[in-house]
Amino acid sequence: MKWPRDLGLKMRMWLTILLLGIVYLIFIGILLALNFPTTVVLPLIFLMVFIQYFFSDRLVLWSTRAKVVTEEEYPELHAMVSELATEAGIPKPRVAIVHTPVPNAFATGRSPSHAVIAVTDSITRLLSKDELKAVIAHELSHVKNRDVLTMTIASFVSMLAFMVMRYALFFGIGGDRRENAPILVAWLVSIIVWIASMILINALSRYREYAADRGSAIITQQPRSLITALQKISGRMDYVPPEKRQEVEGANAFFIIPALSGSTLMELFSTHPPLEKRVAALEQIEQDQPWI
């Protein structure tokens, strides 16, 4: 099986990383403008980078209350993940379960050798075996494409930029306007960067969903199974109580179908492509059959 070379995804990932670097520089500049000592700022930034890189998977699992399970606990699920990981040409990830009525799945981890595939217990009951395999293959494609870490860090830094934008003025202004000028400039720049980062991150998120859908079709050679799985998950989501969907809102950008979508008024600010566009793309893949 030849994995498609996706230059579009790679370019978007590098652009997002570049923007993250800009956000970090702005964050450092604002802290220094607020008279934080360099001996505090630099170790703080180093600590944040360290935590993001080495503990991003644990933070995502913690936020969703996902529990890593053993092969003895879920032998069929482990066997399915192992088989599909072999087809994808990556090491078998750890497997986690989330106990929630929200039918969904996600991948996390800084690299293919440190990845976790998580599924909710409700999705294992909702989908057929072939549909569940298609969903897991979609998540393995995220791991194969190495877009998981980029999205994890991007989501964190976007939140950081928002916090800077929200609180810099509150904590930094008072007294001489000339003294406040650097803080005002930094605050305005942080607004621009936050908006730009949200647009770029969401564009990357939407594109990576298309790429993972293609990967699932190639791994399983059954794009129709992913189509019906996406339709089932989306259809069931409306019947899940809003408070249950809010409990897993923190992983919304990582899910195969967003648990909460009411806040996205325009596709530009959406983390996922519209379902009908994903189905149309998969139907085209089914027609073209790129694995032949």
Which residues are known to be catalytic? 139
- Hey, is 107 helix, strand or coil? strand
Q: How far apart are CA 221 and CA 125, in angstroms?
A: 23
Stretch (H or E) spanning 171: helix 148-172
Instruction: Give the C-alpha separation, 232 to 275, whole Å.
Output: 11
To which H or E segment does residue 119 belong? strand 115-120
| DSSP state letters, 197-261 | HHHHHHHHHHHHHHHHHHHHHHHHS-HHHHHHHHHHHHHHHTTS-HHHHHHTGGGTTTSSS-S--
Assigned token pair, 258: 């967003």
Listed in sequence order, the DSSP H helices in 37-128 are 38-64, 75-88, 121-126
CA pair distance 248, 244, nearest whole angstrom? 7
- Main-chain dihedrals φ then ψ at residue 35, nearest 5 degrees: 70, 25
Q: Which two tokens stand for residue 80?
A: 């399915």
Neighbours of 76 (CB within 10 A): 11
Residue with tokens 């994903």: 278
Spatial contact of 213 and 144, defined as CB atoms under 8 Å apart: no
